[in-house]
Amino acid sequence: MSQRESSYDIKTLENQLIKAIQQGAIQDEDGQLPAEPELMRQYQVTRYTLRQALKDLANLGYIYQAHGSGTFARPHHVEGAISLQNNVGLTEEMARQGRVVKTTAIHQQVITLDQADFLPESQKLPNETTLISVTRQRTLDGQPFLVEHSYYLRSIVDNIPNSALKGSLFAFIDQKPGLKVGFIDSVIECEMISGLPAKFFGIADGSPSLVVRDDSYLSSGKLFAFSKIFYDFRKTKFFMLKKMH
């Protein structure tokens, strides 16, 4: 099985386990999940796939593993929060919680780096670098939620079809032959906004917004995109599991 096939098997299993945990269908009255051999049998997966999925679910805050006792569902997962440790795009993460993210407006154009409104946080690029500039307005359950402004290096992502712009760009990149998302450096800050984000959120110019700045890299270590995502601070909360050992 290839690395790409394995990654999709893991994500499929994660979604199945999350749904079962949310429905209370897999854990016993003490919150304990079945042992690994039983989970492997139920879901028809390898030990490697199961362990990777359980590791991801632990990082996302759905389960915890008690040494010598087994795996348990966490009693109070933070519903509606965006995990800072997720390994999927926002569309899929919110779908796991039964919520719907939709793109309601899109603007795309080709520019050079010297025309960009901002630069990547962690890497310098030549001014003549060609970029695909994408701005998307997105709703959550029908309510204005975020404005995303991203720049994709055209030498790596040569075109982005409308079908991808309306859905998950994360999934689109990950499915392109020869490309695989490796890691994303994120910085969270507060910024006073005006113009499009303020108008979309229905707030006054100069109001605060939660802003996430992402520098996105392929598994090869190459930067392929950098973004600023403006969230309506009234509707947004983030979650991170802090492990002490």
Check which CATH number belongs to the domain holding 43 and give it. 1.10.10.10
Q: Are residues 68 and 107 in the same domain?
A: no
- For 160-192, b where at least 16 C-beta lie within 10 A, e where not — what string? beeebeebbbbebbbeeeebebeebeeeeeeee
pLDDT over threshold 60, residue 25:
yes
Helix (H, G, I), strand (E, B) or coil at 115: helix
Evaluate whether residue 244 is within a structural domain: no
Evaluate whether residue 245 is within a structural domain: no
Q: Residue 66 has what pLDDT?
A: 86
Q: Are residues 33 and 96 in the same domain?
A: no
Q: Are residues 95 and 66 in the same domain?
A: no
CATH number, position 166:
3.40.1410.10
Work out the average pLDDT over 32-47: 94
Helix (H, G, I), strand (E, B) or coil at 171: helix
Q: Are residues 115 and 166 in the same domain?
A: yes
Q: Residue 245 has what pLDDT?
A: 62
Q: Residue 3 has what pLDDT?
A: 43
Identity of the residue numbered 18 = I
Domain that holds residue 44: 3-73
Cβ–Cβ < 8 Å for 18, 96: yes
Q: Are residues 99 and 139 in the same domain?
A: yes
End position of a domain, from candidates 73, 98, 117: 73
CB atoms inside a 10 Å sphere around CB 73: 21
Work out the average pLDDT over 16-25: 87
Q: Are residues 52 and 94 in the same domain?
A: no
End position of a domain, from candidates 42, 73, 104: 73
Q: Are residues 173 and 91 in the same domain?
A: yes
Q: Are residues 101 and 53 in the same domain?
A: no
Q: Domains in the chain: how many in total?
A: 2
Q: Are residues 59 and 103 in the same domain?
A: no
End position of a domain, from candidates 37, 54, 73: 73
Q: Are residues 57 and 92 in the same domain?
A: no
Work out the average pLDDT over 213-222: 94
Evaluate whether residue 115 is within a structural domain: yes
Q: Which of 97-101, 137-141, 166-170 has the lowest mean pLDDT?
A: 166-170
* Mean pLDDT of the chain, nearest integer: 89
Q: Are residues 120 and 202 in the same domain?
A: yes
pLDDT digits (tens, 9 = 90+) for 54-67: 998 888 788 988 88
Q: Are residues 232 and 119 in the same domain?
A: yes
Evaluate whether residue 118 is within a structural domain: yes
